[in-house]
Structure 1
Amino acid sequence: MKKPSQSNWFSSLLALLFALLLFFNANASGSMSNVSGTNQIYDEMLYNIPVQVEYDQDKYFVSGYEETVNVHLSSANRIQLNLESNEDTRNFQVVADLTKTPLGTSEIQLRVKGLSTAVKAEIEPKTITVTVEKKVTKSFSVEAQIPETIEAEGYKVGKVAVSPKTVEITTGEETAKAINRVVAPLSNVKQSVDTIKQTVNVQALDSKGQVLSIENPAPQVKVVVDLSLPSKEVGLTISATGSPPSSVEHYTFTLSEQKVEIRGTKSVLDAINTIELPVDVSNIKSSMKKTIKIPTNADYIVSPEEVEVTINPVFVGTNTSFSETSGGQSSTTASSSQMIPNPLPSSESPASSSSTSSTSSSTSSESTVANDIENGSSSEPVN
C-alpha cells in the first residue's frame, strides 16, 4: 500500500505536466495566428497616374511621351495602402528623370518617388519614349479651319475674322522647322446659324496636315465666320383646329402670302416641301382676319415669320360664305353684315322654282370655285 505523501507527489507532477502541455499548445496556436495575420497582403490598381518629367524647362522642349501610366500597389498595411491609393492623401509620384538625357529620342526608365516603405509599387509600362529638343519660340499667322460639314450642308462661307491674327508658338527647334501652318480648328455648329463665333486653341500642322507638338496650353484666338444659309421657297397649307359653330359646314381661307422662304442646312431643306399653318376656327361665325405665326424650330429660319389669314365661314345647307377683301386680294363675298339663314326645307319651297333654284345654285357654286382658284384661297372642311 502506497503512502499518502507519495500519492500526492505523483498527482502534483501529473497536474504540472498537463499545465505545461496546455501552455505550450496555446502559445503555438497564438504564434500560428500571428504568422497568418502578417502574411495577408492587400493590393490596389491605380489608373491614369500622371508622369512627372524632370528637365530644364527653360532650355528644352520635351514631347512624344505617354503622360499617364498605371501603378499596382501592394502592402500588408491596409491603412498605409489606402492612404497611397487615395488621390487626396497620396505622397508618391511617378517620375521620369531627363536631366542627363541627350537631344533626340530616348527610352527613359520610370521610377516611383516619395512612396511609403510599407508599400510596394509596380509601374505599367515601366518605360516611356521621349523626344528632347532645344526650346524655341516663333511667331506664326493663324487661319481659321472650317469644318468640312459646313460646305457639305450647303453653307456659303462669307467674311472670316481671326483675332489675334498672329500668335507665338513655343516648341522644339526641329518641330518649329516642320510647321507648315497654324490653324484655329472650329467645331461643328448648330443648324440654322448664320454666324460662327468661337474661341479655340490653335494647332500647328506639318505639310501633310499632321498635328505637331507645341507648348500646352496652346495660344487661343477668337474666330468669327459669316455664313449664308441655303434657302428655298415652300408653300403653306391650312390646318383648321378648334370647334366651329354647328351652323358652319366648313371654312375657306385666304392667305396674304402663298409661299415663304426657309433657310437651313441642305439636309433639313430637302425634307421640307410645305409648312402646315394651324388656324383656330372656334366660334367663328363671320368673316374675320387673323395674324398667324408660322411654325418653325431650331433647324431652320422662316421668312416672313407670320402671315395674315382671312377666314370665311360656309354655312350648312348653302355654298355662300362671308368674306372680305384683304391686301389687294379678294375672295367670294356674299354678305358681311349678317349671318346667312339656313334655307327653307324643300317641302316648303314652291315647286315651280325648283328648276330655277337648282340652276342658280349650280351657277353660284361654280362661280365660288372659280373665284377661289383665281384668288389663291383654299377650302378646308371642318368636321
Structure 2
Amino acid sequence: MDRILNNKWSIRIIALLLAAILFTSVNANNNNATTFSTTSSSDTEVIENVPVKVYYDKTNLYISGVPETVTVTLSGPRSIVQSAKAQQDFTVYADLKNASIGTQEVKLKVKDASDRLKVKINPATVNVNVQEKVTKKFSVDVELSKSVVADGYQAGTPIIDPKKVSITGAKDTIEQIAYVKATLENDGKHKSEFTDKATVSVFDSNLNKLDVDVSPQEVEVTVPVEKVGKSVPIKLKQEGTPESDIEISSMTPDKVEVVVVGDDTVLDKIKEIEIPIDVTKIKADTVKEVTVPVPTGAKSVQPTTIEVKIKTVKKSEATNKTTTSKEENTTSPDENTTDDSEEKDTKISKSFPNMQVYMSGLKNTFDSQMVTPANGKVSVTITGEKKIVDDIAVKDLSVIANLSKSKAGDYSVPLELTGLPDNVAYVINPTKADFIITEKEAQNTVPSKNT
C-alpha cells in the first residue's frame, strides 16, 4: 500500500478516477434539476373569441363563410403562454389574396406568435364563398306593428328617410333580394304623428334573412296618425231569463262608448249601438265578455268586445222584504208617520247620459285636444236620498277636467262632478279624460266652463 501511495503515477490515476466520479454525479443532478424545472414551467391556455382577419381584394370581391372569432389553444413555457394570453399579440387570419371565385376550403393561420408556443386553432379550416362584389340601391318598405296607434286611430303612409339604402354583397346573393324591410316595433299606442328609428333587414322570396351589408343600417320613419270613425254610446239589452229564483239587478259595461269605423254617410245615422246580453241560466253575480256588433253599413268597431258586470238578487229575498213591509204597514195605524219618513229616506240612483266634459285651469300658453272620451261626453250616475236626488237636474251639474297641472304632451286627468250636495254620491264613466297638450297655436277645441 505504501509503495502505491509513494508512486506518483498511482496517485495521478486515483485522482483522475475520483474526478471522473465527481463529474458524473454533478452532471446527473443538473440533468434532474433541468428536467424538473422544464416540466414544472410548461402551461396550456384556451383563449376564446379571438378575432379572425381576412386578407382579400376588398374592392372587387365579397367574402362570406369566415367566422368572426375562433378558439385558440396555446401550449408552451408558462411565462410565454401567460404573456400571449394577456396581450393577445398574435393574429389569426385567412389569406384569400389569391383566391378564385367560388366555394373553397381555407386553412386558418396564425402570425406574430412566439416560436416557443404550440398554437391550435378551432376550427382549423373553414368553407369560404368568394364572389364578385356588387352594390345596389333598394327602396325600403316599412312594417308597422298594430300597437303603434291607439284604438280609434289609424296610421297614415309612413315617410322614410332615406327612402333607399345601399346593399353590398355577393353577386348571387344580391340577385336573391326580394324584400328590404324596416320594421317599427313601437308599442306607444300613439294618437298623433311620431318619428322613430327602424333597423333595415334584407330577405329572399322565402323570407330567409340574407348575409349582406346595408348602409345605412337604420332609417328614420315618420308616421302620420289620424283619428278614424265615430264614438257612439252603447246600450245594453237584456235577453233570456235567469234561474227561476234570480232577478238581474244591474248590468254595467266596462266601456260606455265604442268607435265605429265607416263612411261618413253611414256614421251620421248611427246614434248608439245596442248590445244584447244573454242572461239565460245565470245563478249569481258574474262578468260576461260580449261581442260588440258592427252596425249595418259600418266597416268595424273598436274594441270588438266589452266586459259586462252582472249583479243579481234572489226573488225570495225581494218578496220577503215586500211582505215584511206590508205587515208593518198594517200593524198599527199610528205608524203611518214612520212609513212616510222611511220613504223619504229611501236612497235612489239617477243617471245623466251624454254630459259634456269641460276643462278648467288650462294655462294661456297651451292648447288642448280631448282624445278620450272621443265625443267629449260621459255618463254620470248619482245616488242619494230620494227627496234630494229628485230635485237635481242636469243643469245643476258640471263635469270638470282640471288641467291646471298639465304640461305639453299626453296628459290624463280624473274627472270631477260639481254642483252636488255633500250627501250625494256620484260615479262618472269613464272616470278620466285624456288630452294632448300643445304649445298654443290655435283656439281651444275643448269647451270651457267657469267653476
Q: Which TM-score tier does this pair reach, normalised by the shorter chain? A: 0.5 to 0.7
Q: Secondary structure at the match of 2:213?
A: coil
Instruction: State the match for 1:84 in structure 2.
Output: 84
Instruction: State the match for 2:421 in structure 1.
Output: 331
Q: Matches of 1:148 and 1:121 in 2, distance apart? A: 54
- Please report how far the alpha carbon of residue 125 of structure 1 lies from its aligned counterpart in structure 2 after TM superposition: 0.7
Letter in 1 for 2:85: S
Instruction: State the match for 1:354 in structure 2.
Output: none
Q: Secondary structure at the match of 1:202?
A: strand
Contact 2:167 2:215 in 1 (8 A): no
Instruction: State the match for 1:66 in structure 2.
Output: 67
5+ residue gaps, structure 1: 236-254, 264-289, 294-300, 310-325, 333-367, 378-383
Q: 1:127-183: CA deviations, max 9, x gaps?
A: 112221111221111112334765899984344221011122222211111111211
Q: Matches of 2:14 and 2:372 in 1, distance apart? A: 111
Instruction: State the match for 1:277 in structure 2.
Output: none
Q: Secondary structure at the match of 1:330?
A: coil
Q: 1:99-142: CA deviations, max 9, x gaps?
A: 23222222211111222211121111111122211112211111
Classify 1:175/1:222 alpha carbon distance in 2 versus 1 (closer, same or farther; 3 Å): same
- Runs of 4+ in structure 1 over 6 Å off: 2-5, 9-20, 151-155, 228-232, 255-258, 260-263, 290-293
Letter in 1 for 2:165: V
Instruction: State the match for 2:201 in structure 1.
Output: 203
Instruction: State the match for 1:56 in structure 2.
Output: 57
Q: Percent identity?
A: 29
- Please report how far the alpha carbon of residue 19 of structure 1 lies from its aligned counterpart in structure 2 after TM superposition: 8.0
Instruction: State the match for 1:189 in structure 2.
Output: 186
Q: Matches of 2:82 and 2:65 in 1, distance apart? A: 33
5+ residue gaps, structure 2: 232-253, 258-354, 359-369, 374-399, 404-409, 429-451
Q: Matches of 1:59 and 1:6 in 2, distance apart? A: 92
Do structure 1's residue 113 and structure 2's residue 111 form an aligned pair? Answer: yes
Letter in 1 for 2:119: A
Q: Matches of 1:124 and 1:376 in 2, distance apart? A: 71
Classify 1:139/1:6 alpha carbon distance in 2 versus 1 (closer, same or farther; 3 Å): closer
Q: Matches of 1:152 and 1:18 in 2, distance apart? A: 104
Do structure 1's residue 42 and structure 2's residue 43 form an aligned pair? Answer: yes
- Please report how far the alpha carbon of residue 59 of structure 1 lies from its aligned counterpart in structure 2 after TM superposition: 0.6
Larger fraction in strand: 2
TM-score, normalised via structure 1 length = 0.55
Aligned length: 262
Classify 1:213/1:331 alpha carbon distance in 2 versus 1 (closer, same or farther; 3 Å): same
Q: Matches of 1:33 and 1:154 in 2, distance apart? A: 87
**Matching of residues 220-259 of structure 1 within 5 Å:** 220-226=218-224, 233=255
Letter in 2 for 1:96: A
Instruction: State the match for 2:210 in structure 1.
Output: 212
Instruction: State the match for 2:120 in structure 1.
Output: 122
Do structure 1's residue 174 and structure 2's residue 172 form an aligned pair? Answer: yes
TM-score, normalised via structure 2 length = 0.47
